[in-house]
Amino acid sequence: MTDRSQLLTELRLPESMNLDAMSTEDAVAVMNAQDLVAVNAAASARADVVKAIDLVVAALSKGGRLFYFGAGTSGRLGVLDASECPPTFRSDPEMVQGVIAGGNDAMFRAKEGAEDSPEGGSKDVDDRNIGPNDVAIGIASGGTTPYVHGALRRAAERGAKTVFILCVQPFPGEPKTDVTIRLLTGPEALTGSTRLKAGTATKLVLNQITTIAFVKLGKCYENLMVDLRATNTKLWDRGSRIVATLTGINRDEALSLLGRAEGHVKLAVIMQKRGVDVGEAKQLIVASNGRLREAMAAEDE
Active site amino acids? 84, 115
Helix (H, G, I), strand (E, B) or coil at 141: coil
Eight-state DSSP code of residue 98: E
Give the residue from 181, 159, 147 showing the smallest Cα distance to 49.
Answer: 181
* Measured distance between the N- and C-terminal CA atoms of the chain, rounded to whole angstroms: 67
How far apart are alpha carbons 252 and 244 in whole angstroms?
A: 9
R_g of the chain computed on alpha carbons: 22
C-alpha of 229 from chain center: 21
Q: Find all residues with CB under 8 Å of 197, minimum gap 6, and list them.
A: 34, 35, 37, 38, 41, 185, 186, 188, 189
Please check whether residue 274 is in contact with residue 208, taking contact to mean a CB–CB distance below 8 angstroms: no
How far apart are alpha carbons 117 and 134 in whole angstroms?
A: 23
Alpha helices by DSSP H, listed for the chain, are: 24-44, 46-61, 72-89, 118-127, 146-157, 197-214, 233-247, 251-260, 265-274, 278-287, 292-297
